[in-house]
Amino acid sequence: MSSGSPTSGAGRVIAGRYLLLRRLGSGGMGHVWLAHDQRLACEVALKEIVFRDGSEAGPEREARVARARAEARHAAGLRGHPHVVTVHDVLEHEGLPWIVMEYVRDAVDLRELVDRRGPLAPAECARIGLAVLDALAAGHERGVMHRDVKPANILLAPDRTGAPYGRVLLADYGISVQPDADETRYTMASVLVGTAGYLAPERASGGPPTPAADLFSLGCTLYYGVEGRGPFERASYVAAITAAVMEEPRPPARAGALEPVLRGLLVKDPHLRITPLEAEAALSLIVTPQSDAYERTRTDPGSPSPWEAHAPGAGVPAFGSAPVPEVSTPPGADGFGPTWTPDLALTPGWSVRGPGPGTGGAGAAVSPPAYRRRPRRRLLRAALAGGLGVVLALSGVWYALADRTSDGTAAPYGEAVGLVEPLQDGDCVLADWPGAVRFSGTPRLTLDPTCREQAPDGQVVAFVEAASADEAREQGPARCEERTRELRDRLADVRSHAVVPTEAGFGAAGRRTACLVLGAHGPVYGPLGERRRFGTPFADISTMQRRDCLDVRTNRDARLVACGGPHDEQVLGFTRLGDGVTLAEARTESDAACARDVPPRDYGFDPSVYEAGSWTSAGPWKSGTHVVVCTVRKQNGGTMEGTEP
């Protein structure tokens, strides 16, 4: 490996003031950009309306523009709410509206967090639910329904104490509506508004948006947080909609004390659904199971989160805060919860994240909806449902233990795969493909315990659970694609592969599919993503990922270091050279190719100070992919510091 000497719109200036630095995310309405406010010298997020092409139908174009203006107007009504992304302004540039929003630094959405860490502890989900419920109630009091509550629209960011996920924000009021207001509707009546699997059954059946419908979506979201999948998750959009209307949610296995609340929120009949006041009281009891639980109705974005006071070795509350009482629910499957110790060495490049495509808000004040209290028998029924869930969970444990062959030697993934023990998180593997054709057929896998010496083909980076072997076979590959997408997007040349258990080996495999990330055309030569350690030299560019910071010892020795400290280069992206370019030629041409294809100025780096750099290695030339890693460095060879620019 050696260092050599997408048209995104980055670098544009919007309304003569906002310099676009990089794209943070995309959604149905358009893109969200990280931008630099040149007037106030601060970072903001800009939401851009994007059309499929210039000939998009006039009425649809007008409707989408009008929806953007309505979003900003609704969000302005909740300006300053601690659990809603703040909207600063709405402006027009070249005839189209742009929404100027708060940039939430170091944020990650709930979907990404569960993908990365696994299901959350019930108490942590309850804390998140309280904050989102608070934001929804503020909107409902103004007559504004969110209509798209889902994990991707809940941002978690560090609070004032530094707790990594202490701040909870509801984002994206892009399809919100005031049913009682005299404003134009911008959605066709024949189109379902919302996300399949999180849409309330009455909305899927054509009913009006109501606070109860938002609560159903919140129930689906919290179910996802504690279980790692949605209650009505299915293989297709239509199947998910049908399940929400016709089927009961899957019995939760990890919800614990949260289960009665989930069942109350997921009642099909909106008139029998748990009320916001009941949900708030029940969630508060899970977060703070003491007599003062009912006093904790609104969470402070600066308050310490439950895990902070319970980190191993924490003898006194951090930062002088009040102690957090013990909770009766166990931590999540991967230790995420009240006793989880935050990993301060997250992979560089995952440490800065802005809001997803949208923001939260509300519109003009109207009479608040009447929240009706349910009889006490409703809570009793929910408690009984919780007991039933425990029975079902115990039955599942029995089934998992019983699902073995008589001699206990069932291979978890079948004879073709060849493994006699189930894969574990972080396992590096060698893959022998039938006919030596990669990603064709079922590979025979062997473990590489060192993750280096044998040049592994890939690594286990996630798992997806299933209720049956049939479900694992039908849904495992697609769910692995989703669970590994973020990591794959940061690497140059990898693919996802699902190792699905067989019917006989389903119990031995732990009732879950192993999700691998494998080199698309060759080995990966080492650990991937956050499984790498700072200070480790790169054996090949295949494990370098976007936003990595590098300590360059020589032109053949680069090491991964934290971006918060001194470093010599930062990875911006990748490019490819032509088939006829030799590796020796690449080492002289790659800098120019990166300056052309991945210019640092598109990422906000001043071209008078910074220049493009590059790294190549033999692996991509052996595989024929000719991938080059593109970096940014100072022209004078100086050290970069912190989060430049």
| 432: β partners | 444
CA 375 to CA 362: how far, in whole Å?
Answer: 31
- In order, the DSSP letters of 207-255 are PPP-HHHHHHHHHHHHHHHHHSS-TT--SSHHHHHHHHHHSPPPPPSS-
CA 540 to CA 457: how far, in whole Å?
Answer: 13
Q: Which two structure tokens, joined as six digits, stand for 236?
A: 């297709």
Q: Are 286 and 123 in contact (CB under 8 A)?
A: yes
Enumerate residues 6+ apart whose C-beta is below 8 A from 420.
409, 411, 412
Q: Are 245 and 264 in contact (CB under 8 A)?
A: no
Is 606 one of the catalytic residues?
no
Q: Are 156 and 108 in contact (CB under 8 A)?
A: yes
Q: What angle do CA 485, 339, 354 make, to 5 degrees?
A: 40
Closest C-alpha to 35, from 645, 610, 604? 604
Phi, psi of 396 (to 5 degrees): -65, -40
CA 516 to CA 445: how far, in whole Å?
Answer: 11
Q: Are 488 and 494 in contact (CB under 8 A)?
A: yes
CA 37 to CA 409: how far, in whole Å?
Answer: 63
Task: Write down the catalytic residue from 109, 115, 134, 148.
Answer: 148
Establish whether the linkage from the previous residue to 164 is cis, with ω within 30° of 0: no
Q: Are 93 and 14 in contact (CB under 8 A)?
A: yes
At 586, the amino acid letter reads A
| 515: β partners | 462, 498
CA 633 to CA 605: how far, in whole Å?
Answer: 9
Distances (CA, A) of 436 to 108, 433, 453, 517: 39, 5, 21, 18
The most distant pair of C-alpha atoms in the chain lies apart, rounded to whole Å, by 77
- Three state DSSP letters for 563-613: CCCCECEEEEEEEECCCCCCHHHHHHHHHHHHHHHCCHHHHCCCCCCEEEE
At 542, the amino acid letter reads S
CA 532 to CA 148: how far, in whole Å?
Answer: 36
CA 22 to CA 74: how far, in whole Å?
Answer: 26
Residue 47, annotated as binding a ligand: yes
Closest C-alpha to 536, from 548, 519, 521, 546? 548
Q: Are 435 and 441 in contact (CB under 8 A)?
A: yes
Q: Please, where are the H alpha helices in 51-176?
A: 58-76, 110-117, 122-141
Which residue's structure tokens are 């593109």? 630
DSSP symbol at 152: G
Binding residues: 47
Q: Which residues are catalytic?
A: 148
